[in-house]
Amino acid sequence: MSDKPRINGWIILDKPLELGSTQAVGAVKRNLREGGYPKTKTGHGGTLDPLATGVLPIALGEATKLAGRMLDASKIYEFTVAFGEETTTLDVEGEVTEISDVRPSPTAIETVLPEFTGPIEQIPPKYSALKVEGKRAYDLARAGEDFALKMRTVTIYALKIIRHESTDSVTLTAHVSKGTYIRSLARDIARKLGTVGHVTMLRRVKAGPFTLSHAISLDKLNQIGKGAPLDDIILPMKAGLDDIPALDLDPEQARRLRMGQVDIGIVADDGQYWARDGEGSPVALIRLENGRTIIERGFNV
């Protein structure tokens, strides 16, 4: 039995190329085990394709109760669209399916971007983890089966050019709602410009409240298994709540809320809050509605 404390918090990994999200979670578990820490419940807050890099929030212990919030959170990506070829996977991994000699100018690109800002409809890539009659779309696509994915509505909060170094490609940044597929966005932008394209670079720079400034490299993660301290590697659980207001509880209120009692004299405007005790530890994620307190998640910290 480990003499080290149980862990409740976040590891924000700057996921490298070719590492899957599930593999990243496995790497965290392995390092904690090799570092002598107790078995810890672990989960990630939003899948990144193996060919994507960047912010991958990994929840530990009680923070896994907040992983759903990360899935629902908006995200910011940087991505490069190469014009002239569309592929089966809409990225560099697939086979070329269409070609075009058209290369759009920076002005043309700037002109169409507003059409992809706000609520838009998009068809997800066939090579995605969405399920079709119980089977993953990418499995059906690899098997050569013919199927169609339903159009969905997503929101693009902001979309702009970062750089346009040649006529063959452009790098953009997009702030998007959950469920947005950047590969589909790149495909549709290229088609609107009268050409075809695919993603050659995809990097997530923000997920919910977490940015690259919070992220550590895989090399630094691997130091945990070699005995490195966790102080500058693991963020506290409350870091995943920084985007909503906190409510301070007195000791009696905190005790009663932990027991599931909601009539404890909380007075605040309607909305979602996280309630914390006198030491700043999360007690519960709550919602206030018409004077009622609703416990959405209770934390055993």
Length of the chain: 301
Give the pair of three-digit tokens for residue 118.
Answer: 């706000």
| Measured distance CA(109)–CA(185) in Å, rounded | 13
The catalytically annotated residue of 14, 49, 188, 277 is 49
| Measured distance CA(105)–CA(274) in Å, rounded | 48
List alpha helices for 117-263, DSSP H.
137-142, 182-192, 218-222, 251-258
| Measured distance CA(196)–CA(259) in Å, rounded | 58
> Which residues is 247 bridged to in the sheet?
275
CA within 13 Å, CB half, 197: 31
| Cβ atoms within 10 Å, residue 260 | 9
246 in helix, strand or coil? Answer: strand
Instruction: Report which DSSP code applies to 212.
Output: G
Give the pair of three-digit tokens for residue 35.
Answer: 């570092």
Q: Please say if 277 is a catalytic residue.
A: no
Q: Which residues are catalytic?
A: 49
